[in-house]
């Protein structure tokens, strides 16, 4: 009995390994739109895909970033300015993309990479704007760009690749960011099932901690302090400045040993070039071991582990 089970499992994993290494053909005939190419993951991905021979359409927020990327890439890479929070910008980008594409071509992939950090602080001190600033980019930007470009992806029977996070499955701190990433997970799952019969594939990236501007120490400190100052006097007194400093130091310590950023670019590449891409890419050692463990065990256990050494407000000491 056990021999049959083991044989089936080995066969399953061998087949999965083999299928995962099959790639699509003719990169040079495929067009890929990537958002958030000013820096970080998006910038590196645009360069990686360009080196592989894809026709990359790199969307940047700032023109200076677009110019720098153009200089560092081949003639096949095209750039455009795009603020994913602006309906007008997205419509203008669609028009430009259509002028870039040959008449019979669509987009092989849309990579929703654009994102921002922030929203660091206690729930009592955060205001509605702290949430909407992040949701507008990290969630609604993903939804709006996908909606606008989906017909072009359908034309190629291509794929949508969305940047989520392990924070989209395990909410620990910076609540607005986690809410946005939970939303990306839900949107991507719903979309994948909606386009199931349309030949479109939808993949989600769930990176752990990597060195990007989202966890820039200066930004983390400034955001925590600004949020703390938003709270009323009673709230500030209850939490205390020592609590805020401890939260800042914990987060900076956590971000001080980031994974190799190329792991994320490799996952992006696989989602675009693989014949059978994964539904989810859990990227990084912390994501695959610590976070995967924490979102698998019962909540009482994960809460105990996460909260045991967490900072305590002055009001309960």
Active-site residue set:
177
Is residue 150 within 8 A of residue 191, CB to CB? The reply is: no
Say how many C-beta atoms besides its own lie within 10 A of residue 312's C-beta.
14
What contacts 24+ positions apart, CB below 8 Å, involve 10-17?
none
Concatenating the DSSP letter of every residue in 34-74 gives ES--SSHHHHHHHHHHHHHT-EEEEEESSHHHHHHHHHTS-
201-207 β-sheet, strand order: 78-81, 55-60, 31-34, 109-112, 159-163, 201-207, 280-283
173 CB-side CA count, 13 A = 23
In terms of DSSP H, where are the helices of the chain?
Answer: 2-20, 40-52, 63-71, 87-100, 128-138, 140-156, 175-194, 217-230, 233-254, 262-273, 285, 292-294, 299-307
Q: What is the DSSP letter of 103?
A: T
Q: Is 278 helix (H, G, I), strand (E, B) or coil?
A: coil
Is residue 130 within 8 A of residue 229, CB to CB? The reply is: no
């Amino acid at each position: 009995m056990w021999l049959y089970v083991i044989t089936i499992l080995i066969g399953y994993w061998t087949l999965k390994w083999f299928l995962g290494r099959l790639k699509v053909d003719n990169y040079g005939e495929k067009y890929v739109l990537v958002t958030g190419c000013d820096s970080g993951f998006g910038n590196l991905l645009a360069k990686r895909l360009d080196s592989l021979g894809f026709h990359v359409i790199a969307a940047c927020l700032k023109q200076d970033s677009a110019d720098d990327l153009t200089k560092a890439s081949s003639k096949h890479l095209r750039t455009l300015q795009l603020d994913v929070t602006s309906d007008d910008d997205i419509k203008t980008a669609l028009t430009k993309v259509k002028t870039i594409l040959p008449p019979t071509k669509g987009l092989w992939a849309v990579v929703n990479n654009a994102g921002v950090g922030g929203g660091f602080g206690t729930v009592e001190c955060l205001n509605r704007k702290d949430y909407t600033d992040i949701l507008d980019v990290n969630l609604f930007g993903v939804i709006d760009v996908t909606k606008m470009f989906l017909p072009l992806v359908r034309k190629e029977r291509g794929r949508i690749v969305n940047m989520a996070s392990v924070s989209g499955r395990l909410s620990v701190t910076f609540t607005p960011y986690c809410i946005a990433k939970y939303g990306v997970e839900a949107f991507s799952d719903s979309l994948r099932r909606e386009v199931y019969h349309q030949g479109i594939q939808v993949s989600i990236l769930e990176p752990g901690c990597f060195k990007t501007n989202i966890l820039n120490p200066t930004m983390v400190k400034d955001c925590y302090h600004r949020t703390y100052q938003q709270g009323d006097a009673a709230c500030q007194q209850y939490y205390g400045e020592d609590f805020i400093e401890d939260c800042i130091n914990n987060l900076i310590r956590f971000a001080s040993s980031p994974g190799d950023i190329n792991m994320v670019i490799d996952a992006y590449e696989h989602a675009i070039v693989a014949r059978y891409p994964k539904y989810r890419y859990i990227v990084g050692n912390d994501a695959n071991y610590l976070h995967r463990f924490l979102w698998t065990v019962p909540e009482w256990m994960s809460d105990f582990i996460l909260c045991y050494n967490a900072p305590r407000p002055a009001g309960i000491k």
